[in-house]
Amino acid sequence: MYDATLKQSSLNKFPAQSNRLSWAARATIAFYLPFEKSSANIAPVSFFNLCIRTCLYSSQTECDLEKGLEMRKWVLSGILATEEAYLSHLEALLLPMKPLKAAATTSQPVLTVAQIETIFFKVPELYEIHKEFYDGLLPRVQQWSHHQRVGDLFQKLASQLGVYRAFLDNYELAVETAEKCCQANSQIKLSLYLCLILLLALLYKPVDRVTRSTLVLHDLLKHTPTSHPDHPLLQDALRISQNFLSSINEETTSRRQSLAGKKGENRQLLKDSFMVELVEGTRKLRHVFLFTDLLLCAKLKKQIGGKNQQYDCKWYIPLTELTFQGPEDTEPLAIPQVSDEELDAVKVKISHLRSEIQREKRANKGSKVIDRLRKKLSEQESLLLLTSPSMPLRLFNKNGKSYSFLISSDYERSEWREIIREQQQKCVKTPSLTSMELQMLTSSCLKLQTVHNIPLKDESSGLYGFLNVIVHSASGLKQSLNLYCTLEVDSFGFFLNKAKTRVYRYTTEPKWNEEFEIELEGSQTLRLLCYEKSYNRTKLNKEDGDSTDRIIGKGQILLDAQILQGKDWQRTVIPMNGVEVKLSMKFTSREFSLKRMPSEKPMGVFGVKISTVTKRERSKVPYIVRQCLEEIERRGMEEVGIYRVSGVATDIQALKTAFDTNNKDVSVMMSEMDVNAIAGTLKLYFRELPEPLFTDELYPNFAGGITLTDSVAKESCMLNLLLSLPEPNLVTFLFLLDHLKRVAEKESVNKMSLHNLATVFGPTLLRPAEKDSKIPSNPTQPISMGDSWSLEVMAQVQVLLYFLQLETIPTPDSKRQSILFSTEV
C-alpha cells in the first residue's frame, strides 16, 4: 500500500539531499520507497541509493531548466526596454508630420501632400506595428509565469516585415526629397533639417530592430524547452526573420558603407578607431573615421536623460589636403606623461571590476548590479585608453593647421599612415562640406562605426607565462639593407616592445636565428616589425621626431594556447609586403614557468641557495650578480628598455652555462655579448633561486606591510622586515638596489623609471617558491587577469618600489659595517 507517512519520514532521513531535490525527484523516491520494507526481489538499500543518485542528477537537470525558463523573463524584459526607446524615436519622427499635413491643405502649404507622403513613407505603419507588439508583450511579462506564452506576438511581428522592406526601398527618395525642400525654401530649413537628421538616424533602426529581434529569438529558443507551446512559434518567427535579413544583407552592407547625397555619394568608411588627441597639451578621447575622401575626428557626446548617443564633429581634413610632414619650423611635440604608478592603479581597478562582474554572474544576483559594475569598468577602461599611449602621430593640413594623436605602438601608427597614403593616390579633390552635409556625415558615423567599444581586450582569454620565439630569417627582399626586427605583445589592449634582434648588415637574406624569452601577461597577439636601420644619427624623421629607421614590413599572429602548448616548437611564417619572416614559437604556461626548482647540480649557481653560493665563494654578493651589474654599468645604463627588452635566449643560456661551470673566460664572453643578454642572465638567476631573495617565510609579512596606510608604521614595519633577511640576501638586495637607482637616474635616455624597474624585478625577487602548487589538469586553460595571482604580482611590484623610493635605508651599526666595509663583496 502507498504509505505517505513512511515516505515523508524516509525522506527526512536524508535532509541534505532531499532539500536539493526537485518535485520530480522527490516523487520518484516516493514511488520506490515501499521497496525499502520489502526483501522479496530486490536489494532495497543499493536500489534506494541508485534512486538517490539518479534523482540528484535529475534535480540538477531540472534546476538548469528552471534557470533557463527564468532567463526567458530577463530576455523579454530587455526587449520591452528597447521597444520603448524605439517607439519614442518613431514618435519624435512623426511629430513634425501632423503640422506639415495641416499646412498642406491651406493656401500657403509648407510642403505638398506628395512630398509629405514621400518623406514619412511607412513611418506611421511602423509605429502602429511596434505599439501593438509592445502593448501585447507588457502585460504578459508583468504577469509572468514559466507557462506564459509570447511566441504568437513574435510570429505576428515577423509576418509584418514587409513594411520594413517598403521603408528601406523608399529611404533614398525620402532623403532626396527633404534635401530639395530645404534648398528650395529657406523659411523651412530648420524644421526640415531636423526632420532630415531624424530620418538619417532612423534608417538603420528598423534593420537593427530585426537584427536584435533575431538574436533575441535565438536566446528565447535557447531557454525554451522543446515541449513548451512557444517553441514552434518562435522557430517560425526566427525562420521568417532570418530569411528577411538574408534578402536585404547585400543591400544593407552597401548602405552602411555608402552615404546618400549629391556630394560624396561614393564615400565609404575605410577605418575607424578610438584615439587620443593632444589638444593644447591635454589628452582628449576621440573617435576617428577615415573615409575614402576625408578624415573626420569626432567626440562622442555624453548621454543625458536616456537619449541616444551622438557624435560631435571636432574637425575634418580632405585627404588631398593632408600631409604627415610639417613645415621646417614645426616645434617638437610636448607630450604630457602619466606616471607608471597611475597606470598600474587603473589596471588594478580594472582587474578588480572584472573579478566582481564574474562573481556576480556566478551568484545570479540580477542585471542591475552587473550593469553598475560594467559602467564603472567602462569608465576605467576609457581612462586607461586616455592615459596609456605616448607615441605621436602628427597630421598637417596644407593650410598650416596641425593635429596630433598619441598611439600605443609603432605598428598602429604605421597602419594609419599606410592606409591614408594608399587612399590619397586614389581620391580626387573633395569640395568643402556645408554645415548640413557635415552634420549628416557626423550623424551617419553612429551607424557606420565598426568599433563600438573601448578596444581593451579581456585578458581572461589571453596567455600568462613565457613565450620562446626564434626569429630565423627573412626572404623576399629586392635590395640589400641593414635590417633588424622587433617583437611586440599586448597586455590590457596595448602593445609593448619586448624584444629586438641584432642588425644584419647589408643583405637581402638576413639570418638572425636569435631566440627570445618573452613574458606574457594576458597576451593574445604577437606582432613583428621589420626595420631598415639608419646610421645617420643627426637626421630625425620630420613626421614624428623619432629616428629615421624605416619600417619595411609588419605582421601579426594570434597566440593560441592549444597550438603553442607542448614540448615541440611550432614553426610559422609571417608575410608582410612581399617579405616573409620565419619564426618558431613555444609557450610555457604560468603554472610551469613560475615554479622555483632547486638545481640538481651541486657546484652550479643557478637554482642553488644564495647562502650556499656566497659561502662557497667566500663573498657577500654572488660573483654572477657582481659581474652582470658591473658590465651593465659599464655600457648598458643608456640602453633603451634595459631589463625590459629581452636578450637573445641562446646568449643567456651560454652565460648560464659559463657561470654554472665557473668558466674563467666568462668576463670576456660578456664583453662581446649584447647588454640585454647580460640583463636577461641576471634576471634568470634571481628567477631560478630555489627560494626568493625576500624568503618564503617573510614574504607574507612584506605583502601585508605594504598595505599599511600610516606612513610611519609602514616604514617601521618594512625596514624591520628587510633587516630580518639573512645576511647574504640583505647584502645582495642592497647591492642590487643601489644599481637600480642609478639606472633610473638615466630614465630620460633609457626610459626605465623606478616603477618600470619594480615591475620587472618585483615578482622575480619576491615570488614565493609555490612548493604546494599543483600542475593544473588543463594547463592550456586561460587564466583570468582578475584572479588573486595578478593582484599578488601588483603587491610584489609595490614592495620593491617602496624600497626603491626610499632615499636611504638605515641599518644597525653592526650590519652597516659588514655591508659597507667588507672587502669580500
Task: Give the pLDDT confidence score for residue 461 in this predicted structure.
Answer: 65
Q: Which CATH superfamily is domain 58-257 in?
A: Dbl homology (DH) domain (1.20.900.10)
CA 214, CA 216: separation in Å to the nearest integer?
A: 5
Q: What is the pTM of this model?
A: 0.58
- Contact indicator for 402, 330 with CB cutoff of 8 Å: yes
Task: Give the pLDDT confidence score for residue 27 in this predicted structure.
Answer: 36
The strand pairing partners of 284, in sequence order, are 277
Residue-wise pLDDT tens digits, 128-176 = 998 999 999 999 988 888 888 888 988 888 888 888 778 777 877 877 7
- When pLDDT is averaged across residues 587-591 and rounded to a whole number, the result is 77
Q: Which amino acid is at 825?
A: V
Residue-wise pLDDT tens digits, 184-231 = 655 555 555 555 555 555 555 655 666 667 777 777 777 788 888 888
Q: If you average pLDDT over every residue of the chain, what do you get?
A: 78
- When pLDDT is averaged across residues 545-551 and rounded to a whole number, the result is 71
What is the band of 419 on the pLDDT scale with cuts at 50, 70, 90? very high
58-257 and 463-536+546-593 agree in CATH topology: no
Task: Give the pLDDT confidence score for residue 193 in this predicted structure.
Answer: 56
pLDDT reading at 25 higher than 60 = no
Task: Give the pLDDT confidence score for residue 727 in this predicted structure.
Answer: 93
Protein fold of 610-820: Phosphatidylinositol 3-kinase; Chain A (1.10.555)
Cβ neighbours of residue 447 closer than 8 Å, sequence gap 6 or more: 203, 204, 256
HEC readout, 596-642: CCCCCCCCCCCCCCHHHHHHHHCCCCCHHHHHHHHHHHHHCCCCCCC
Task: Give the pLDDT confidence score for residue 702 in this predicted structure.
Answer: 93
- 263-330+390-451 placed in CATH 3.40.190.10: no
C-alpha cell at 605: 649557481
The string of DSSP letters for 350-389 reads HHHHHHHHHHHHHHT--HHHHHHHHHHHHHHHHHHHHHS-
Task: Give the pLDDT confidence score for residue 511 in this predicted structure.
Answer: 92
Residue-wise pLDDT tens digits, 426-465 = 887 777 887 778 888 888 888 888 876 665 655 556 788 8
Residue-wise pLDDT tens digits, 695-711 = 999 999 999 999 888 88
Residue-wise pLDDT tens digits, 709-718 = 888 899 999 9
Task: Give the pLDDT confidence score for residue 528 in this predicted structure.
Answer: 94
What is the band of 751 on the pLDDT scale with cuts at 50, 70, 90? confident
Residue 395, H or E segment: strand 391-397
pLDDT reading at 747 higher than 80 = yes
Query: Collapsing DSSP states into helix, strand and coil, what is residue 548?
Result: coil
Q: Which range (271-275, 399-403, 444-448, 768-772) has the least confidence? A: 768-772
Summary count for the chain: helices (H), strands (E): 30, 16
What is the band of 597 on the pLDDT scale with cuts at 50, 70, 90? low
- Contact indicator for 806, 714 with CB cutoff of 8 Å: no
More confident residue, 303 or 152: 152
Question: Domain ranges in the chain?
Answer: 58-257, 263-330+390-451, 463-536+546-593, 610-820
Q: What is the DSSP letter of 825?
A: -
Q: What is the DSSP letter of 337?
A: P
C-alpha cell at 403: 593635429
Task: Give the pLDDT confidence score for residue 463 in this predicted structure.
Answer: 85
CA dihedral 709, 712, 718, 722 (to 10 degrees): 170
The string of DSSP letters for 735-783 reads HHHHHHHHHHTTHHHH---HHHHHHHHHHHHH----TT----SSTTS--
Q: Which CATH superfamily is domain 463-536+546-593 in?
A: C2 domain (2.60.40.150)
More confident residue, 140 or 73: 140
Task: Give the pLDDT confidence score for residue 692 in this predicted structure.
Answer: 92
More confident residue, 533 or 258: 533
More confident residue, 41 or 598: 598
Strand order in the sheet with 294-300: 311-318, 294-300, 282-291, 269-279, 402-407, 391-397, 322-323
Other CB atoms closer than 10 Å to residue 2's CB: what's the count?
Answer: 9
Please provide residue 703's backbone torsions phi and psi, each rounded to the nearest 5 degrees.
-65, -35
